[in-house]
Structure 1
Amino acid sequence: MADTTTTRRSPLAHAAQRLAAATHDCDGALILAELPFLAQVNVRLDPKGPADAVELALGIPLPLTPNTSVRGGGLTALWLGPEEWLIVGPAGTQADLEARLRSAVGEQHAAVTDVSAQRTTLLVAGDRARDLLAHGCSLDLHPRAFGPGRCAQTTLARAQVVLVASEEPEPGFWVLVRSSFAGYLAEWLLDAATEYLPAPAGEIT
Structure 2
Amino acid sequence: MVNTTANTEVRGLRRSPAAHLWTDFAVGSVAGERGVTLREIPFQTMVGIRVDPSSEAGRRIGTVTGGLPLACGNVTSGPSGLAVLWLGPDEFLAIAPDNGGVDGGILAAALVEALGESSGQVVDLSSNRTTLELAGPSARDVLEKSCAADLHPRAFAPGTAITTEIGKIPVVLWKTGPETFQIFPRASFADHLGRWLLDGMGEFAAAGSPTWH
TM-score, normalised by the number of residues in structure 1: 0.89
**Conservation of the 8 A alpha-carbon contact between 1:77 and 1:85:** yes
How many pairs are equivalent? Answer: 197
Question: What one-letter code is carried by the residue in structure 1 that aligns with 2:89?
Answer: P
SS across alignment from 1:163: strand
**Conservation of the 8 A alpha-carbon contact between 1:121 and 1:177:** yes
- Equivalent residue for 2:87, pick from 55, 80, 99: 80
The CA deviation at 1:131 is 0.5
| Aligned match of 2:156 | 146
| Aligned match of 2:25 | 19
| Aligned match of 1:52 | 59
Question: What one-letter code is carried by the residue in structure 1 that aligns with 2:185?
Answer: V
| Aligned match of 2:116 | 106
Structure 2: any 5+ residue segments left out of the alignment? Answer: 209-213
| Aligned match of 1:180 | 188
List per-residue Cα deviations over 1:147-168 (Å, max 9, x = no partner): 112111110011111111113x
What is the CA–CA distance in structure 2 between the aligned matches of 1:156 and 1:164, rounded to whole Å? Answer: 13
| Aligned match of 2:211 | none
The CA deviation at 1:27 is 4.0
List per-residue Cα deviations over 1:75-112 (Å, max 9, x = no partner): 11000111110000122721011011111112222210
| Aligned match of 2:144 | 134
The CA deviation at 1:199 is 3.6
The CA deviation at 1:198 is 4.2
Establish whether residue 196 from structure 1 lines up as the match of residue 204 from structure 2: yes
| Aligned match of 2:12 | 6
The CA deviation at 1:171 is 4.7
**Conservation of the 8 A alpha-carbon contact between 1:64 and 1:82:** yes
What is the CA–CA distance in structure 2 between the aligned matches of 1:72 and 1:41, rounded to whole Å? Answer: 14
Instruction: Check 1:46–1:97 CA distance in 2 against 1; reply closer, same or farther (3 A cut).
Output: same
| Aligned match of 1:96 | 106
What is the CA–CA distance in structure 2 between the aligned matches of 1:26 and 1:18, rounded to whole Å? Answer: 15
Structure 1 runs (4+) greater than 4 angstroms displaced: none
**Conservation of the 8 A alpha-carbon contact between 1:76 and 1:89:** yes
| Aligned match of 2:71 | 65
| Aligned match of 2:42 | 36
Instruction: Check 1:171–1:199 CA distance in 2 against 1; reply closer, same or farther (3 A cut).
Output: closer
Question: What one-letter code is carried by the residue in structure 2 that aligns with 1:95?
Answer: G
